[in-house]
Structure 1
Amino acid sequence: MTIDRDSTVPLYIQLKEHLRQQIENGSYAPGSRLPSERELADTFQVSRMTARQAIRLLATDGFISAHVGKGTFVLKPRIDQELLLLTSFTEDIRQRGMTPRSRIIRAGIERANQEEAEQLKVSEGAEVIMLSRVRLADEDPIAWEICTINHRMCPGILDRHNFGQDSLYQVMRDEYGIRLLWADQLISARMPSREEREALDLDTKTPVLSLTRVTYTDHDQPAEYVRSVYRCDRYQLRTILRYTNG
């Protein structure tokens, strides 16, 4: 690639786009070291400031991560989920050609607290299934999900399945006839707790996406209440907005 000095596109943008394309086509594999500012400046005959700006943009876009004293390294691509369809984590990861797995933190029958009872429309103290899992894609931790389910809707589900491997949504659908049709989901960004950082292998500077969701059946009955945190450096949410005159 040669820098087009007559172009109206700034030099650092041209350099950033070239490096992005090389990352996306595999010329720089995940985990590989990117050339230094000095090396980029010499190769493309630009200033170190131009190289620094290009690297900074790549880091902002989630393609690379800088480590003081070690260099700049290419990150694994983010998992991009569109907010259009209600799918399970297992189904979503498999569709992307990766292997899903879960590390179970806690699984059992508990009594619903006030918040859980309100969300699931059950009595406080009613039996609920508590399933806390770290969700992995190709063995990389992506999310920590705490799922509470109305036990009356799927009794005995924990006795017959290992949800470290099995898809909860598929089992609910195939064995209990529960059709999960829609969900009400709230998303926000925040810094993780120490426990969340340890579970997801995060540094102290990486934020998380915090999701709270109530999932409903085709009879508008709440079946699942989920609280989860996703790594912002490995997961992003996408939505399509259409303009209507009104």
Structure 2
Amino acid sequence: MPFTIATWNINSVRLRAALVTHLMREEAPDVLCLQECKSPVEKIPFDIFEALGYRHMVARGQKGYNGVAILSKLPMEDAGEKDFAKLGHARHVAGKLENGVTIHNFYVPAGGDKPDREVNEKFGQKLDYLTEMRDWFRAEAPEKAILVGDLNIAPREDDVWNHKQLLKVVSHTPIEVEHLAETREAGKWVDITRQDLPEGNLYSWWSYRSPDWDAADKGRRLDHVWATPDISNAGHSSRILRAARGWDKPSDHAPVFAIFDL
């Protein structure tokens, strides 16, 4: 049975609960993965999501920062989490569907402003986080899995509005792109979005600092949907809901969708 999955950095699930419910009503993904929830799990407004058919949730949270949640119409059991780089942050949670598919929801550290771990601790934490992700995938060899989330890296030249200008900007530096590539290759993950949409510029994030984000269109593709090779051919119909970036009091990210015939 096909199911639709969506990933969205919501930038506060409590502040933007109305946007989440709007997406649920208008787009109705079967599984919705949220990042940067900025809420303890017990304060996520699960009751309003449950009323719309999302009766299952696995989540990890903390007050005011980070936080990841998977909301599902389909039965799902908690499949745990990993604290990569020992940051003590709520940045990963996994849920397993009845069809045996495990969904990993990630919020990779943004990395601060300067792409130099010697002067910017956050950048070092980001690289260490990705390194431990890579090592885990090498050791565990994931199967029948989907990985989604705000990975905070735009890997391709056409994943950013200007490749040359962003080479020294955190999220598109060569060292970050290399770390993400190693992480993806370690699990033999397939980039479903680019499998479906191999050509052309694609963005899922536009800065709040741009007063006219839509016209300027200085975006980056920071949000991703990957799948293991055993199910990658089942993924299709990828899209980014750009319109959501223009909703009232929006997140700076737009939701990314894919359908899997599984």
Higher strand share: 1
TM-score bracket, shorter-length normalisation = under 0.3
TM-score for both structures, normalised by structure 2: 0.22
Higher relative contact order at CA 8 Å, sep ≥6: structure 1 or structure 2? Answer: 2
TM-score for both structures, normalised by structure 1: 0.23
Please tell me whether Structure 1 or Structure 2 has the larger radius of gyration of its CA atoms. 1
